[in-house]
């Protein structure tokens, strides 16, 4: 079985859900007083940019006019991919909407940065057919908008309504229906505020989860050095409990299972947890296959329970009605390890047949050849 297919299940830590944007590896700003969190329904901050490099300078938000303030950087691929869409919106709404792309978070800021940004804008041509501004190293607009709103990824857009209030904030590729309602005067910023508050709460929870995950890694290192896995087990049990009802809980349970039967060499509680995972994962072929594949082939497992491996692999195969080559490959491996070579060859032949014309075909055939040679 190609191990890359199972990478998402093997000792991975949950990542915070992100909008499809570039992460905020931005330059570290000087410490300032923490601004009030900017939310929909609040007055839009000033645009204190260093320079407008395309279109007319915006002195303030005029009554009756809708604005989109969008943040980007030259190194941000998703930002660049959003340029044409923003240009289409500017063309569609004409004088009703003013779109302003504000450049932030450049790497580094030096004497050549502004020229680099201008060159990028010039090369985009009609793909960037709207007003463009350069925030510069002082990051005044970044602080007043992005930092104040707690937004850590770009591209990121803010819609300012006809009264100069922030109506919405989010990814620019997701704002079309909102922008249409704002222009028509039909948008309720209270709904956007609720969404923003929920997003902020989720982001805070994810930050706490990521910190706990880092603590788990530290506990793992300590356990490896001392051979005492009690502290690590306590830490991961806390994470399993705190993530109950979320996909992250499964990842932590899988991590505990793999560690217990692997490097911790605690097979009894490890396989007990494994049996729980198999029971809970009934019908989830990919999960069951991941459990079986790790248990039957990973080098860290010192005491293999081949009856358990067969149970998990057979459950995965049943879930796919025996028609998935990758899962049959795992089941064949289990039979091979059990010494039931004829059964292993039979299953591997079917796996090869089902995997024809796929990236797995060559590896499947090589495995079958190995079984037939009795090695």
So where are the chain's domains? 15-187, 200-373
Quote the CA–CA distance of 248 and 239 in Å, as a whole number: 9
For the whole prediction, is pTM greater than 0.85?
A: no
Average pLDDT of the chain to the nearest whole number = 88
Task: Place 188 in a pLDDT band, splitting at 50, 70 and 90.
Answer: confident
Q: Is the pLDDT of residue 37 over 50?
A: yes
Task: Place 243 in a pLDDT band, splitting at 50, 70 and 90.
Answer: confident
Task: Place 9 in a pLDDT band, splitting at 50, 70 and 90.
Answer: very low
Hey, what's the torsion of the CAs at 276, 282, 286, 289, to 10 degrees?
Answer: 60
Task: Place 10 in a pLDDT band, splitting at 50, 70 and 90.
Answer: very low
Q: Is the pLDDT of residue 308 over 90?
A: yes
Quote the CA–CA distance of 35 and 345 in Å, as a whole number: 66
Q: Which residues contact 113 (CB under 8 A, 6 or more apart)?
A: 106, 136, 137
Alpha-carbon distances of 3 from 6, 320, 350, rounded to whole Å: 5, 19, 19
- Find the largest Cα–Cα distance for the chain: 81
**Pair of tokens at residue 205:** 């929870």
* Bigger pLDDT: 227 vs 25: 227
Strand-strand pairing, 22-23 and 153-154: antiparallel
Task: Report domain 15-187's class.
Answer: alpha beta
Q: Nearest to residue 165, comparing CAs of 29, 67, 84?
A: 67
Burial class from Cβ neighbours inside 10 Å (0-12, 13-18, 19+) for residue 346 reads middle
Alpha helices (runs of H) in 63-188, residue ranges in sequence order: 77-93, 113-124, 140-141, 148-149, 176-184
How many residues are listed for the chain in this entry? Answer: 375
Q: Is the pLDDT of residue 370 over 50?
A: yes
Task: Place 206 in a pLDDT band, splitting at 50, 70 and 90.
Answer: confident
Q: Which fold has domain 200-373?
A: 1.25.40
Task: Give per-residue pLDDT as tens, 122-163.
Answer: 999 999 999 999 999 999 999 999 999 988 899 999 999 999
């Amino acid at each position: 079985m190609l191990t890359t297919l199972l990478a998402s299940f093997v000792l991975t830590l949950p990542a915070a859900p992100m909008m499809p944007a570039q992460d905020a590896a931005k330059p570290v700003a000087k410490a300032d007083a923490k601004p009030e969190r900017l939310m929909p329904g609040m007055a839009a901050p000033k645009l204190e940019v260093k320079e407008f490099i395309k279109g007319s300078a915006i002195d303030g938000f005029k009554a009756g006019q809708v604005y989109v303030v969008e943040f980007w950087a030259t190194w941000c691929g998703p930002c660049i991919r959003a340029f044409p869409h923003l240009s289409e919106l500017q063309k569609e709404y004409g004088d009703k909407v003013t779109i302003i792309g504000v450049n932030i978070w450049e790497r580094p800021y030096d004497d050549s940065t502004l020229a680099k940004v201008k060159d990028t804008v010039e090369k985009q041509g009609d793909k960037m057919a709207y007003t463009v501004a350069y925030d510069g190293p002082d990051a005044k607009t970044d602080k007043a908008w992005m930092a104040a709103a707690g937004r850590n990824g770009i591209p990121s857009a803010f819609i300012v309504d006809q009264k100069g209030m922030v109506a919405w904030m989010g990814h620019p590729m997701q704002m079309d229906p909102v922008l249409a309602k704002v222009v028509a005067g039909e948008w309720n910023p209270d709904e956007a505020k609720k969404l923003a508050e929920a997003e902020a709460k989720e982001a805070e929870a994810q930050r706490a989860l990521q910190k706990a995950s880092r603590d788990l890694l530290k506990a793992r290192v300590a356990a490896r050095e001392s051979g005492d896995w009690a502290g690590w087990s306590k830490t991961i049990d806390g994470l399993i409990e705190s993530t109950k009802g979320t996909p992250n809980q499964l990842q932590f349970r899988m991590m505990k299972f793999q560690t217990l039967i692997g490097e911790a060499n605690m097979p009894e509680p490890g396989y007990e947890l494994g049996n729980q995972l198999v029971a809970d994962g009934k019908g989830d072929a990919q999960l069951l296959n991941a459990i079986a594949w790790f248990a039957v082939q990973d080098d860290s497992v010192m005491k293999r329970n081949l009856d358990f491996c067969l149970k998990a692999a057979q459950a995965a195969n049943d879930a796919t009605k025996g028609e998935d080559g990758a899962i049959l490959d795992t089941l064949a491996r289990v039979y091979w390890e059990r010494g039931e070579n004829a059964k292993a060859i039979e299953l591997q032949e079917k796996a090869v047949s089902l995997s024809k014309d796929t990236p797995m075909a060559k590896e499947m055939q090589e495995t079958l050849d190995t079984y037939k040679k009795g090695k």
